[in-house]
Structure 1
Amino acid sequence: MEAWKSFGKFVGSHLAFIAPVCVAIGVLFPDQLDPLKPWVTALFAFMTFQGALGNNFRNVVDVFRHPSSMLVTLGISTVAMPVVAYLLGTLFFGGDPDLVCGIVLEYSVPVAVVSAMWISMFGGDVAQGLATLLISTVISPVTIPLTLKILLGQTVEVDVAGMMIDMLFQIALPAVAGMLVNDLTRGWGKQTLSPAIAPAAKVALVLVILSNSTGVSPYIRHLTPQLVGVMVFIAVFATSGYFAGLIIARLWKRPRATMITMTYQTGMRNISAGAVLAAQYFPGEVMFPVIIGTLFQQVLAACFGNFMTWLLARDDAAQETPAK
C-alpha cells in the first residue's frame, strides 16, 4: 500500500512534466487513444468521488451560507473573462469573426469538471469547488447564450438536458456519494479510503488528459501563422485566468484553501462543452480557439499547483523568520 501511495505522490508532484508529455502523445497518436473516449465520463466521476471524500454535507451548506468567495469566482469566470476575451480577441483577430467567436465561446463555458481534482490534490476548499462547479454548470444554459448574444449578436441553443445529464453523472452523484461515504463512516472515507484511491484518481487524470488531447491533433497538423497567433493568445489568456483568481484571493486575504480553489476555477474551463457547442452551431474555424485550450489547461494547472505550493511555503518561511 505504501508503494501505491508513493506512486500517487510521484505522479502528483511531477504533473507539470507529465501533462505536456500526455498532450504530445495525444496529438501524435489520436487513433490509438480513441478507445479512451467512452471512459472519460466514468473517469471524471471517479475523480469527483475521490475529491468529495474529503468533505461532508455540512461544509457544502456552509459555502451557500457564506457565498462571497463563490460569487466572486463566478463573477470572474462568467462575466469578466468573456468580456475581456471579446475585447482582446477583437483587437488582435478582429479581421476574422469566427476566431473571435471561438475565443469568446471558450471563456463563456462553465468551470471545468476536472478543477475539482486539482483543488483536492493541492489542498483547496473542495466544498467550495464543488458548489461553484455545480452553480456554474446549472446557470450555463442561460449565461452562454446571453453572453454570445450580447457580445457577438450570436444566437445559440444550449443542450440543457445533455448538460444536466453530464453534470449529474460527472459531478452531482459522485460528489454526493463521496460525502455520504465520509459522513456515514464518520471520517473513514477521508482518512483511509481517499488516500488509498488517490493514486488511481491521478492515473484517471492522466488518462483524461490523453483522451482530450486527441481532439487537438487535426488542428495542430494544419497550422497557419494566424492560428499560431491564436495558440499564443489562448496560452497567455488562460494563464491570466489563473492569475486573476490567485491575485484577487491574496489581496482579499482569503484562506489558503479558498485561494487555491479560486485560482483553479477562474483558470479552468469545460472545453468539452465548448467544443460540442462549436461543432453544432458554428463554422469549423470557431472550433480551433476552443479546442486548442486543451493543449494548455492541464499543463497550466500543474504549473500553478507547484507555484502556489512554493508561494505558500515562502509565506510560512517569512512568518517564521524573526523580525530583526
Structure 2
Amino acid sequence: MTVQRWLLALMLGCYVLAGVFPAPGEALRALTLRIPVGTAELTLPMVLLAVMLFNAGLGVRVADLRVVLSQPWRLTLGITANALLPLVLLPCVALALRGWPDPAETEGLVIGLMLVLAMPIAGGAVSWGQNAGGNVPLVVAMVIGSTLLSPLTVPLGMRLAGQLVGPYGAGALDDTTTVDTIARTGAGLFALVSVVLPCLVGIAVRTVLSEERVRRTLPTIKAVNLVNILSLCYINAAGALGQALAHPDPDLLVAAVALSGAVCCLTFVCGRWLSRWTRCDRPDGISLTFATGMNNSSAAAVLAAGSFSHRAAVLLPILAYSLLQKVVAGTAGRPPRIPPAVTGVAPVRE
C-alpha cells in the first residue's frame, strides 16, 4: 500500500472520529492566540496550516526554480489555468443548483466549492506529480507562484461567490455580509498570513541551510506534515460532520459529494486537455494536469471553519473535495514503469 493510500485511509478514519466524537475537535478549533488576522483572530488551525506551508517552502530548492523560470510560459499557463477555472466552473455549478429546493443549502454548497477553487495549488501536487513522473521543479514553481497570487485570487473568488449567491444569484444567503467582509479584507489577509508568509519563510530557511542538514531533517518534516494534515482533517471535519449526524440530511450529503467529485474531475480533465493542446512533453503535461486539478483544501477548510462553522453546507463540499481530489490524483497519476529521477524536493502532501 502506497503512502497516498495510507493517507486516504487515515483521513477517512479522521472523518469517522470527527463524526462520532466532534467535541474535542470543536474545542481545538476554538483555541485562539488573540492575534487579529483580518476580521478574525489567529486560531490553532491557522497555526497548523502555517506550519504545513512552512515545511512546503523548506522542501523547495531555489536552484531548481531558476531552471523553470528560464522558460516561463508553461509555468504561467499552469498558474493562470488554476486561477481562472473557478470563474468558469462556479457559475455552471450555481446554474445547475437553481432547482435545488433549499436555497440556503444551494448557497452553502456554492460558497464551499468557491473556497476550495479559489485557494492556491495544493502542495500535494508536488508529491503526486513526482510519483507519476512529472517535471517536479515545474510543479513546485506553479505551487509557489499560485501561493504568491493567493492574496489576490482568494478575494476575487469570494466576490464571485457573493455575486452568485446574492439577491441576483441563487437566493438570499443569510451570511451575505460575512461573504462580503471576507472578500474585502479577511480572505486576502488570511492568504498572506497563513499561506504566503510561511511558505516564503520556509524557502528562505532552505537557502541558508546546507543540503546535508536539509536531508537529515526531511523525515521529521514528513512526520510533522502528516500530523498536521490529520489534525486539520479532524478539527475541520468535527463541526460539519457533527452537525450532519445530529441533524441528518442525506440529500445535502449526496449533493456535496457529487458536486465536489464532478468539479474535481473537471479540473483534472481541463489540465490534461491543456497539456495536449499545448503539446507538452509527458513530464510537463503531468505537472500541468496536477497543478490545474489540485487546490489547497486544507486552507479552504480552515477559512470556512473560522467564518461558517455553523453552516454544514459550506464545510461538507470542502471535506468531500479534500478526499476526492486525492482519489482522482491517484487515478490520473499512476507511476510510470521506470521510477522518476530522485530530486532535491521534499514531497509535501496537502
Normalised to the residue count of structure 2, the TM-score between the two structures is 0.72
- Are 2:313 and 1:289 equivalent residues in the alignment? yes
Q: Aligned partners of 2:226, 2:271: CA distance in 1, in Å? A: 24
- Are 2:15 and 1:23 equivalent residues in the alignment? yes
Deviation at 1:175, TM superposition (A): 0.9
Match of 1:81 in 2: 89
Match of 1:55 in 2: 60
Partner of 1:109, secondary structure, is helix
Q: Aligned partners of 2:233, 2:185: CA distance in 1, in Å? A: 26
Match of 2:133 in 1: none
Moved more, 20-29 or 104-113: 104-113
Deviation at 1:209, TM superposition (A): 0.5
Moved more, 226-235 or 107-116: 107-116
Partner of 2:295, secondary structure, is helix
| 1:124-145 Cα shifts (integer Å, max 9, x gaps) | 5222113213323423324422
Alignment of 1:102-141 (within 5 A): 102-109=108-115, 111=117, 116-122=122-128, 123=130, 125-141=139-155
Match of 1:3 in 2: none
8 Å contact from structure 1 (residues 245, 267) kept in 2: no
8 Å contact from structure 2 (residues 18, 237) kept in 1: yes
**CA 1:85 to 1:111, structure 2 compared with 1: closer, same or farther past 3 Å?**
closer
- Are 2:205 and 1:181 equivalent residues in the alignment? yes
**CA 1:186 to 1:304, structure 2 compared with 1: closer, same or farther past 3 Å?**
farther
Deviation at 1:190, TM superposition (A): 5.3
What is the aligned-residue RMSD (CA, Å)?
A: 3.4
The count of corresponding residues between Structure 1 and Structure 2 is: 298
Match of 1:251 in 2: 276
Identity rate of aligned residues, in percent?
16
Moved more, 192-201 or 149-158: 149-158
Deviation at 1:188, TM superposition (A): 4.7
- Are 2:264 and 1:264 equivalent residues in the alignment? no
Mark the runs of 5 or more structure 1 residues left unpaired by the alignment: 1-8, 318-324
Normalised to the residue count of structure 1, the TM-score between the two structures is 0.77
Partner of 2:115, secondary structure, is coil
Deviation at 1:292, TM superposition (A): 0.8
Deviation at 1:194, TM superposition (A): 3.2
Moved more, 160-169 or 96-105: 160-169
Deviation at 1:162, TM superposition (A): 3.2
Partner of 1:116, secondary structure, is coil
Partner of 1:158, secondary structure, is helix
**CA 1:14 to 1:143, structure 2 compared with 1: closer, same or farther past 3 Å?**
closer
Match of 2:37 in 1: none
Q: Match for 2:114: what amino acid?
A: S
Q: Aligned partners of 1:260, 1:235: CA distance in 2, in Å? A: 16
| 1:68-101 Cα shifts (integer Å, max 9, x gaps) | 211111111x21221121122124x1x3322222
**CA 1:146 to 1:303, structure 2 compared with 1: closer, same or farther past 3 Å?**
closer
